[in-house]
Amino acid sequence: MPVLIPIVFLLSLALFSAQAVAAPVIAYNTYLYPPFRNADGSGLAHDLVMLLNQRMGGEQFKLVHVPRARLLMHLDHPVQRFNGIAIFLNPAFVGRQRAALFNWSEPLFSDRNVLVFRGAPVSAGELAAGKKGRRFGGVRGNHYQLWDPLVLRGQLQRDDGADEWGNVRKLEAGRIDFTQMNALTFEAMQAQAPELAYLTAVPEPSDSNRRCILISQSLSAPMAERLSRIVSELPADPAWQALMQRYGLHPPGKSQATSKEALRQARRS
């Protein structure tokens, strides 16, 4: 019996160490509505992480859905250093100074935001040059390159909500004049709720719609390098091509700055 105790202890220690090594890295998603996340947990975020895990091999990611504001608090935590990845982001989405503290993958795909109105739409140029007092519905924690400067100058009122659906409800109630969201999310909303068909949308002109993966610098170098290589090879991956077609995604546009260029701009600012 005295001999068995050390053996059992060593086996338990080895099992604990193996579990610790195999613990998945958190992959955060801040897009909480279709097509990124469906009510049953399926969606583009789930499919992307599943594909990455298939290509990664031993080390795996665990998908966690959080509001953008909570992710930013996690990124900025003064003691608990962020050690994970965040999908579907762009350096401009988290703020230039913050973006420079992390690594970024090559772009996954390009999409576009839209400005959503209850009545007749107004172009972004008209909004920027128009009368004061218009009310913009934002999502708490989000950065808006076009609208944040206008808010700071007092030319636009920003009324933040928890999410895109909340802003649509405020739009219906007349509490805001317009809101902004991902075009894929807006299309999914109108498909799920036909009563929203009366809402109108116009493209939001931006060069920061290339969706990338934010990568913590705390991630082990081999894992970070493997992830970056996998993402760079996705355009030729038949499984990713099938997902692109399924969700109606577009390859990163050549006219837009690459994620690395955007990050260099962030570090110069």
| CATH code for the domain in which residue 132 is found | 3.40.190.10
Same domain for 126 and 214: no
From first CA to last CA, the distance across the chain in angstroms is 67
CB distance 252 to 235 below 8 Å: no
Q: Which residues contact 263 (CB under 8 A, 6 or more apart)?
A: 91, 99, 100, 104
Same domain for 216 and 193: no
pLDDT in tens, 23-67: 899 999 999 999 999 999 999 999 999 999 999 988 999 999 999
pLDDT in tens, 60-88: 999 999 999 999 999 998 778 899 999 99
Same domain for 99 and 35: yes
- Count of positions (residues) in the chain: 269
Of 203, 221, 247, which residue is a domain's last? Answer: 203
CB distance 83 to 77 below 8 Å: no
Count up the domains in the chain and report the number: 2
The residue segments making up the domain with residue 156 are: 113-203
Same domain for 185 and 153: yes
Work out the angle at residue 162's Cα, subtended by the Cα atoms of residues 74 and 64, and round it to the nearest 5 degrees.
45
Same domain for 183 and 163: yes
As a whole number, mean pLDDT of residues 221-225 equals 96
Q: Which residues contact 202 (CB under 8 A, 6 or more apart)?
A: 114, 115, 117, 121, 122, 123, 124
Of 203, 231, 252, which residue is a domain's last? Answer: 203
